[in-house]
Amino acid sequence: KYDIVETLQGKGHVVGMTGDGVNDAPALKKADLGIAVSGATDVAKSVASAVLTSPGLREIADIIRLGRMIYRKIVVWTINKIVKTFSIVYFVAISTLLLGLPILTPTHMILMLFLYDFVTLSISIDVLKPSRRPEKWNITKLTVISTILGAVKLAELFIALHIAKLINLPYPQLQSFMFYMLLLSGLLNIVNFRETGAFWSSKPSRYMLLAIIVDSVAATTLVWGGIIIPSLPPYAIALALIYTIMVTLLATDAAKIAVYRFFGHV
């Protein structure tokens, strides 16, 4: 059994096996997913990746489904992290160089990173659809897809900056406008990236929805009332909301679907 597992792994397969006896222990330990069945010996259970608690093999399907769901959460977190780097680091750096003044103040940055954390943490308890087929890590493909989506978001943010300049906002208000845009865009990005298809294919968990709503209300209250940061006129807030929702949930979503169709799922 050990030799069979080793041979299959040598050919690039992800190997799982079940066992119950002492003689199965080496193969269970070697396998990518070693499963000790109900009633297995203590030795088999101690080296196995998972232990079934009831007779039969039905629980194996639950193990695979849970594993694929966890994999999707890691992928969503990774894509969101890379896109956020483009949205914040690259956009802030490039726009500051072009304008000659900081596009965000330290207060904006602290508020944005603080509010982002609640939604990012909700990824861990989100309910994602597991893939129907086995998945393997492909870091290159994941990086390429994330980079393309990050570039799309970067272009959208520079268009937003151009719009902010066209409506002649004073510079402190322009900074608040871009803070508001960056925050809303980042919150809605997670709704996009949790699905490989259209964002409405599945509903986010209630905790994620709650975090997005609370963060959005908090950000709107800050820019409306001028709390801590310069306030925005109502028309600027409405413009930012409409632009972000339309661009993120339609344009970015369409770009994401096109990228996945071209490169395949990760």
161, 103 in Cβ contact below 8 A? yes
Query: For 61-263, which CATH superfamily applies?
Result: Calcium-transporting ATPase, transmembrane domain (1.20.1110.10)
89-131, pLDDT tens digit by residue? 899 999 999 999 999 999 999 998 888 888 888 888 888 877 7
CA-to-CA distance for 252 and 248, rounded, in angstroms? 5
148-158, pLDDT tens digit by residue? 999 999 999 99
206-230, pLDDT tens digit by residue? 899 999 999 999 999 999 999 999 9
What's the whole-number mean pLDDT along residues 132-141? 81
5-14, pLDDT tens digit by residue? 999 999 988 8
Residue 116, both tokens: 């982002």
**One-letter identity of residue 160:** A
181, 242 in Cβ contact below 8 A? no
Question: Per-domain residue ranges for the chain?
Answer: 2-56, 61-263
Q: Was domain 2-56 assigned CATH 3.30.460.80?
A: no
Q: Which helix (H) or strand (E) holds 236?
A: helix 234-246
